[in-house]
């Protein structure tokens, strides 16, 4: 079923005004777009009233055979009494305009109100149910059937004025005519689908819709002569669209000191009243409830007047037209309807969803950063009055977490931060890759001449051995050879950084490796006074990698950590080895050293970047580590706080062959 009200997702601007307004919690937001859960909707139309974007549409009330009936002189219009507020400047012309459109008769729905009023008076006298709830407002009936089914027995089993008028007309004119109801109400459209009016009323239009049909037919209502409604004429039923109209028509008391009879209008008061009745707090015998502030505030009223001016218009119309009613004819019409069945039935069509338990609610609240009472702003931006109410709706799967504005802002902030970090990492990886290319090119070029230098230097060295008094020369040549060797090392490191080295894979225990490195480092003078802690949280610390290269990475990390703690009062080196998954392991090396300045973050893995004194740092340790870890398809990252310390994390696949299959 298409439903009486439908959402237009492309027009929705996510203000959530409709959610705030919807008494049935029938609006579901999916991926930020509001849609209507039709089986929950009570068709009250409050969402239409608040949607400034026109993102809620009323399904047109035109049934297929409406136009045919109109053109063949078979259509009869029943007009709700609030028409006077809708056509406030020319309501006297409405009957003629509708007849000009093609309706053969234009009849006041208020006559239906006259018909049912005595039934209310009777029900009040005889019913054992307390309180009786009026059933003239279809939105109220829908709400009770779906959300207060325990009150279904309280609903008066009497048709609405529209239904009563239609049954009367149908009894006069038979099955061939097409009855169209015209009013301010969207819920009336749902009423003809159920409530025993199926086949009695054929179409339902709002005032706005019929105005469009009139103007589309080229009829200018201002140019039409005034004219009366067709018979049967209505009497006091004309007051129905005003609060208390039913009581007046049924000649029931409207005294404010009268506790037995209560009139309630408007959404929030209606909901409050139904709640009170459900909790047995109300002693009244009869409650007249209207979901809107009188039918003159219905969503299809289409009037530029405010509430009070509309009310005045109705009073003006009632007073004027009552004078013209021939009471005798009216009484005859009423008498002729004595055998009409004006009863109806209501059903329990429960749509309530289970309220999530406390544990689930707390979990939902926590997931939107609202663990404590202090975090719960109850700002209402989501469309719900409190964070708790919102969480309940999320738990009922009728709302999504992203509707919470503070949560969304936090999430956006996080997404922005992570995007920025990723961007920086990408930028730095790109930079390192191009440095790597350059370094590899230079290294290859230098490697050959270096080899030649070393070869000839060793030849010279051997020739010098044969000479007498050659000690000085020999020392000079050995300087050449040492320096060339140093260059060769640098070149090899650069090739490692450029990931152009080769991997000699072995399986080994990474925990044992770290323990061995520490054993070698501890006796060194620069390692004195450092408190070392090594932790393992893995049942399987065996990895497949290039043992020598990984050893170099870990050694570089530990040396840097020790150097960073040179001037620290507390010197703690902690190495934690733990599983990330069955496939990945991480080694975190943290220190309580000087930390890294933010501006240096981007340079840490750049070859030759060092903050150490000349001769102390080469700036290659981290570049080499980066290259080696990348060759292993792993990750190396760090976190640091200046003055507190740094933590470098190396992530490795336990089986490098697996990493290849995952990566390639
Ligand atoms: P080097 O140690 O020769 O300076 P590295 O490549 O090993 O070169 O390190 C580069 C730079 O990174 C260091 O000079 C230092 O500024 C910074 N660094 C690396 N590790 C740490 C650490 N644990 N604490 C503080 N700074 C560090
Ligand atoms: Mg270093």
529 token code pair: 């006074």
Q: Compute the radius of gyration of the chain from its Cα atoms.
A: 43
Ligand 1 centroid from CA 504, angstroms? 27
Calpha distance 132→42 (Å, rounded): 20
Nearest CA to ligand 1 atom 26: 596
Q: Which of 232-236, 415-419, 425-429, 542-546 has the lowest mean pLDDT?
A: 425-429
Ligand 1 centroid from CA 622, angstroms? 7
Dihedral angle, C-alpha 461, 466, 468, 470, nearest 10 ° = 0
Handedness of CA 461, 465, 468, 474 (dihedral sign): positive
33 token code pair: 């777009």
DSSP three-state, residue 28: strand
What one-character DSSP code corresponds to residue 10?
A: G
Q: Flag whether pLDDT at 662 surpasses 70.
A: no
Query: What is the residue whose two structure tokens read 């002189």?
Result: 73
Return the ligand 1 atom nearest residue 610 CA: 14
Which ligand sits nearest to residue 559's alpha carbon?
A: 2
- The pLDDT value recorded for residue 659 is 62
DSSP three-state, residue 584: strand
Please give the distance of CA 25 from its chain centroid, rounded to a whole number.
14
Among 622, 630, 628, 633, smallest CA distance to 596 is for 622
Calpha distance 604→432 (Å, rounded): 10
Neighbours of 128 (CB within 10 A): 6
Calpha distance 344→112 (Å, rounded): 14
Which ligand sits nearest to residue 623's alpha carbon?
A: 1
Mean pLDDT score, 220-231: 94
Q: Whole-structure pTM over 0.75, yes or no? A: no
- The pLDDT value recorded for residue 71 is 92
Calpha distance 653→664 (Å, rounded): 14
Nearest CA to ligand 1 atom 23: 561
Mean pLDDT score, 624-632: 91
Q: Which residues of 162-201 are buried (b: 16+ CB within 10 A; e: fewer)?
A: bbbbbbbbbebeeeebbbbbbbbbbbbbbbbebbebeebb
316 token code pair: 């003006």
Tell me if 336 sits within 8 A of 135, measured CB to CB: no
- From 530, 574, 610, 647, give the residue whose CB has the most ligand 1 atoms within 8 Å, as the site to mutate: 610
Confidence of residue 213 (pLDDT cuts 50, 70, 90): very high
Mean pLDDT score, 272-295: 91
- Give the H/E segment covering residue 406: helix 405-466
Q: Flag whether pLDDT at 2 surpasses 90.
A: no
Q: Which residue has the higher pLDDT, 554 or 497?
A: 554
Calpha distance 282→216 (Å, rounded): 50
Q: Which residues contact 332 (CB under 8 A, 6 or more apart)?
A: none
Confidence of residue 83 (pLDDT cuts 50, 70, 90): very high
Q: Please give the span between the terminal C-alpha atoms of the chain, in angstroms, as a whole number.
A: 50
Q: Quick one: residue 639, left, alpha or beta (phi over 0 = left, psi -120 to 50 = alpha)?
A: beta
Q: Which residue has the higher pLDDT, 380 or 650?
A: 650
What one-character DSSP code corresponds to residue 91?
A: G
Return the ligand 1 atom nearest residue 609 CA: 10
Which ligand sits nearest to residue 641's alpha carbon?
A: 1
DSSP three-state, residue 171: helix
Ligand 2 centroid from CA 217, angstroms? 87
Nearest CA to ligand 1 atom 16: 611
Ligand 2 centroid from CA 541, angstroms? 26
Does residue 160 have its Cβ closer than 6 Å to ligand 1? Answer: no
Nearest CA to ligand 1 atom 11: 610
Confidence of residue 440 (pLDDT cuts 50, 70, 90): confident
Please give the distance of CA 368 from its chain centroid, rounded to a whole number.
12
26 token code pair: 């029938």
- From 560, 571, 611, 646, give the residue whose CB has the most ligand 1 atoms within 8 Å, as the site to mutate: 560
Q: Which of 403-417, 422-436, 642-656 has the lowest mean pLDDT?
A: 422-436
Which ligand sits nearest to residue 592's alpha carbon?
A: 1
- Using CB atoms within 10 A of its CB, is residue 241 exposed (0-12), middle (13-18) or buried (19+)? buried
- From 428, 489, 608, 622, give the residue whose CB has the most ligand 1 atoms within 8 Å, as the site to mutate: 622
Does residue 619 have its Cβ closer than 6 Å to ligand 1? Answer: yes
Does residue 596 have its Cβ closer than 6 Å to ligand 1? Answer: yes
Calpha distance 236→218 (Å, rounded): 34
Neighbours of 420 (CB within 10 A): 10
Q: Which residues contact 125 (CB under 8 A, 6 or more apart)?
A: none
Q: Flag whether pLDDT at 664 surpasses 50.
A: no
Q: Flag whether pLDDT at 246 surpasses 80.
A: no
Ligand 2 centroid from CA 551, angstroms? 14
Does residue 617 have its Cβ closer than 6 Å to ligand 1? Answer: yes
Return the ligand 1 atom nearest residue 619 CA: 8
- The pLDDT value recorded for residue 63 is 67
Does residue 602 have its Cβ closer than 6 Å to ligand 1? Answer: no
Considering the chain, what is the average pLDDT of its residues?
89
Three-state secondary structure along 199-258? Answer: CCECEEEEHHHHHHHHHHCCCCHHHCCCCCCCCCCCCHHHHCCCCCHHHHHCCCCCCCCC
Give the tens place of pLDDT for each residue, 369-417.
Answer: 998 888 888 888 888 889 999 999 899 888 888 888 889 899 999 999 9
Which ligand sits nearest to residue 612's alpha carbon?
A: 1
Calpha distance 547→538 (Å, rounded): 19
Return the ligand 1 atom nearest residue 623 CA: 6
Tell me if 497 sits within 8 A of 556, measured CB to CB: no
């Amino acid at each position: 079923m298409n439903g009486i009200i439908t959402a237009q997702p492309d027009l929705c601007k996510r203000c959530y005004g409709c959610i705030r307004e919807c008494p049935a919690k029938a609006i579901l937001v999916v991926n930020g777009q509001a849609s209507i859960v039709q089986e929950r909707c009570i068709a009250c139309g409050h969402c239409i009233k608040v949607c400034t974007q026109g993102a809620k549409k009323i399904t047109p009330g035109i049934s297929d055979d409406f136009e045919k009936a109109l053109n063949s002189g078979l259509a009869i219009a029943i007009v709700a009494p609030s028409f006077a507020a809708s056509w406030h400047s020319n309501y006297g012309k409405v009957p003629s305009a509708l007849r000009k459109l093609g309706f053969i008769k234009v009849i006041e729905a208020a006559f239906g109100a006259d018909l049912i009023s005595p039934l209310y008076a009777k029900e009040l006298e005889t019913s054992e149910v307390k309180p009786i709830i009026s059933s003239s407002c279809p939105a109220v009936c829908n709400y009770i059937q779906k959300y207060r089914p325990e009150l279904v027995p309280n609903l008066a089993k009497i048709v609405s004025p529209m239904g009563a008028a239609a049954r009367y007309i149908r009894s006069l004119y038979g099955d061939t005519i097409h009855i169209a109801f015209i009013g301010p109400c969207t819920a009336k459209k749902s009423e003809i689908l159920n409530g025993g009016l199926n086949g009695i009323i054929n179409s339902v239009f709002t005032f706005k819709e019929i105005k469009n049909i009139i103007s589309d037919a080229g009829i200018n209502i201002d140019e039409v002569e005034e004219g009366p409604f067709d018979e049967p004429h209505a009497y006091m039923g004309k007051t129905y669209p005003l609060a208390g109209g039913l009581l007046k028509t049924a000649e029931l008391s409207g005294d404010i000191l009268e506790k037995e009879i209560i009139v309630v209008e408007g959404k929030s008061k209606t909901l409050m009243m139904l709640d009170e009745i459900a909790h047995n707090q109300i002693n009244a015998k009869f409650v007249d409830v209207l979901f809107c502030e009188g039918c003159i505030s219905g969503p299809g009223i289409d009037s530029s007047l405010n509430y009070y001016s509309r009310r005045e218009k109705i009073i003006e119309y009632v007073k004027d037209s009552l004078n013209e009613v021939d009471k005798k004819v009216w009484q005859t019409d009423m008498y002729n309807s004595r055998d009409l069945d004006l009863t109806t039935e209501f059903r329990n069509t429960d749509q309530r969803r289970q309220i999530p338990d406390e544990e689930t609610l707390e979990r939902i609240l926590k997931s939107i950063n609202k663990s404590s009472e202090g975090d719960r702003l109850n700002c209402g931006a989501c469309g719900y009055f409190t964070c708790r109410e919102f969480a309940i709706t999320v738990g009922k799967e009728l709302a999504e977490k992203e509707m919470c504005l503070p949560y969304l802002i936090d999430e956006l902030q996080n997404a922005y931060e992570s995007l920025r970090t990723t961007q920086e990492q990408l930028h730095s990886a790109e930079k390192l890759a191009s440095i790597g290319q350059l370094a590899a090119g230079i290294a290859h070029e230098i490697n050959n001449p270096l080899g030649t230098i070393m070869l000839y230097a060793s030849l010279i060295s051997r020739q010098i051995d044969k000479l007498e008094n050659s000690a000085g020369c020999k020392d000079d040549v050995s300087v050449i050879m040492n320096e060339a060797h140093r260059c060769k090392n640098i070149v090899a490191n650069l090739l490692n950084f450029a990931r152009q080295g080769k991997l000699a894979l072995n399986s080994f225990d990474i925990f044992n490796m770290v323990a061995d490195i520490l054993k070698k480092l501890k006796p060194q003078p620069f390692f004195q006074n450092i408190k070392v802690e090594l932790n393992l949280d893995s049942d399987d610390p065996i990895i497949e990698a290039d043992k020598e290269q990984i050893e170099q990475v870990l050694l570089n990390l530990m040396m840097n950590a020790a150097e960073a703690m040179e001037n620290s009062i507390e010197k703690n080196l902690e190495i934690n080895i733990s599983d990330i998954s069955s496939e990945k392991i991480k080694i975190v090396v943290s220190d309580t050293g000087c930390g890294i300045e933010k501006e240096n973050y981007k340079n840490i893995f750049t070859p030759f970047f060092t903050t150490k004194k000349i001769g102390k740092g080469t700036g290659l340790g981290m570049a080499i580590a980066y290259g080696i870890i990348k060759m292993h398809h792993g990750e190396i990252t760090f976190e640091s706080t200046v003055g507190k310390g740094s933590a470098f994390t190396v992530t490795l696949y336990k089986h490098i062959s697996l990493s290849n299959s995952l990566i390639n």
